[in-house]
Amino acid sequence: MKCAYCGKHNKDGAITCKRCGMALPLTPPPVRNDGGDDDLGSVDIGSGGPSGNKSSGKRTLVAVCAALLAILLCALIIALAGRGGNYISPVSGAYNVTDGTAVFRKGAPVLPELKIADAKTDMSGGKVAVLAENGELYCLPERDTPVARNVASFTLSRNGKYLIYKDVNGLLWSHACAKKDGAPVCICNSVVKDGYAVSPDGKSVAYCVEGDPVMHLFSSGKYKELGEGFEPVSVSNGAKHVYAYSAKDNALCYINRRGKSVILRSGLRGGVCLNSTHEEAVFTCGFGGNADSDRAVTLISVNGAEPKEIADSVSGLAPVIPVGAVCMSGSGAQGAVTYPVKSFNNAYFAGGKLVKYSFRDGTVTIDGAGDCGSAVANKAFDHVYYLNGARLMSLSTKGKTISTETLAENCADFRISGSGSVQWYLTGEGDLMYRKGSAEKLIAKDVTDLVVTPSGKEALFISGGRLCSNTGGNPKRSFVYEGTASALAADASGLYCRTDAGWMKLDGGGKKLDLTAE
Segment 203-246, tens digit of pLDDT:
999 999 999 999 999 998 899 999 899 999 889 899 988 989 98
- Cα Rg of the chain (Å, integer): 24
> What's the pLDDT at 250?
83
Name the pLDDT band for 360 (thresholds 50, 70, 90). low
Q: Containing H/E element for 411?
A: none
Rounded to whole angstroms, the Cα distance separating 53 from 56 reads 9
Question: Mean of the pLDDT values across residues 314-339?
Answer: 54
Q: Phi, psi at residue 67, to the nearest 5°?
A: -65, -40
Name the pLDDT band for 268 (thresholds 50, 70, 90). confident
Rounded to whole angstroms, the Cα distance separating 250 from 267 reads 6
Nearest to 274 by CA among 193, 197, 368, 168: 197
Q: Would you say residue 36 has pLDDT above 50?
A: no
Q: Would you say residue 120 has pLDDT above 90?
A: no
Rounded to whole angstroms, the Cα distance separating 405 from 411 reads 14
What kind of architecture, by CATH, is found in domain 442-518?
Answer: Single Sheet (2.20)
Tally Cβ neighbours within 10 Å of residue 438: 6
Rounded to whole angstroms, the Cα distance separating 195 from 146 reads 24
Q: Which residues of 101-118 are buried (b: 16+ CB within 10 A; e: fewer)?
A: bbbbbeeebbbeebebbb
> What's the pLDDT at 315?
61
Kindly report the average pLDDT of the chain as a whole number: 75
* CA dist 212 → 149, 191, 215, 230 (Å): 27, 10, 8, 11
Tell me the pLDDT tens digit for each residue of 52-69: 333 344 444 334 344 444
Tell me the pLDDT tens digit for each residue of 167-215: 999 999 999 998 766 788 899 999 999 989 999 899 999 999 999 999 9
Residue 284 makes CB contacts below 8 A (sequence gap 6+) with 268, 269, 270, 271, 294, 295, 296, 297, 314, 315, 316, 317, 351
Tell me the pLDDT tens digit for each residue of 15-29: 556 555 555 544 433
Strand partners, 406: 393
Q: HSE (CB half, 13 Å, CA atoms) of 216?
A: 25
Residues comprising the chain, all counted: 518
Domain ranges of the chain: 1-30, 442-518
Q: Which residues of 309-329 are buried (b: 16+ CB within 10 A; e: fewer)?
A: ebbeebbbbbbbbbbbbbbbb
Q: Phi, psi at residue 295, to the nearest 5°?
A: -140, 130
